[in-house]
Amino acid sequence: MLSQDSIAFLHRLLDAAGPSGFESDAARVWRTEAAAIGRVSSDVAGNSVAVINAGAPVTVMLAGHIDEIGVIVTWIDDDGFAYIAPIGGWDPQVLVGQRLRFLGGDGDVIGVVGRKPVHLLKPDARDKAVKFEDLWVDIGAASRADAEARLSVGDAGVIDTRVITLPNHRLASRAVDDRIGAFVILEALRRYAERPGVAAVAAVATTQEEIGHHGGGALIAAGRLNPAMAIAVDVTHATDHPTADRKDAGDHRLGGGPVLTRGSVISPVAFGILRDAAARIGVPFTLQAAGRETSTDADFIHLAREGVATALVSVPNRYMHSPVELVSLADLERIPELLAGFARSLKPGDAFKVKV
């Protein structure tokens, strides 16, 4: 199982605030831990990189994005109420009544999300979904000047929650997507460093994955590192809860092991190597199909330079993009074993090109 030190690091990482484009606090936590494992660097996009066996004949990139969804201040009115827009994909319903933590210039600023009370809503408005423009943030300010002394347009924030532990080796956090991936790749690097093979392995905590289809930090990191093969580690929808549709999303259960994706942007060679490693090591897994994009870093890593053989490993996650994303520690134990074991199996002459 995961060591107590690793679990303590996981909690620190999940509790750090790091919305897309504002990942510095979370990245700092990751790099501090990584410095005890491998050679650490960063780049202009804010990616954090830790490497074992730098300069080896074959390089493998492990990518987990460290950003999370968040909000950004767009306006402060004369009464000191702040208005916000989303960073990443939100269901505004989950924001109602929440506390927010903004990354202010002089430190954290706490506020509460307000909306018109249900008692004052017209009957036809009570059943309508709330929108961002229906919400405001109250930081306790008495005026615009009072608010602007602490908060500025352009300040980013996250829901102000902390990790909670649950029975059966489960935990919940607002930042599971995808701080979990950043944790898993560093845990894999830690295990690879204990008994390294001939490959160079670079763990990359990537930035800006949640804000869309431009490649973010992952594309930049892949261009810089020029790996022969890459594995993106992200979350996918667990389908072991009420109302889940397994016909659409597959059968993925907490504690059931990693989810390996097959699909149009996934290298069949990389997938095969990973699947064979799971069978050899004895790691249970389930399969997921992606006929088009995967909506992960894998969509862009495989396009870097002349192309990178890319695979995708996912952690089953309940309640994605909410304050209570929930995963199993058992899955967080198995995936590093799989990734470290796969990396040890690589040899300098391995080919990653698709046979034609």
Give the residue numbers marked as catalytic: 209
Phi, psi for 33 (deg, rounded to 5): -70, -40
What is the per-residue burial (b if ≥16 Cβ within 10 Å, else e) of 83-101?
A: bbebbbebebebbeebebb
**Among residues 97, 105, 93, which one has the least CA distance to residue 322?**
93
Report the relative pairing of strands 70-76 and 39-42 from DSSP bridges: unpaired
Cβ pair 160, 112 in contact under 8 A: no
Biggest alpha carbon–alpha carbon distance for the chain? 70
Tokens describing residue 332: 């967080």
CA distances to 46, 64, 246, 328, 332 from 51, in Å: 16, 14, 38, 27, 21
Tokens describing residue 310: 């890319």
Q: For the purposes of burial, counting CB atoms within 10 Å of the CB of 207, is it exposed (0-12), middle (13-18) or buried (19 or more)?
A: buried
Q: For the purposes of burial, counting CB atoms within 10 Å of the CB of 44, is it exposed (0-12), middle (13-18) or buried (19 or more)?
A: exposed
Distance CA 220, CA 226 (A): 10
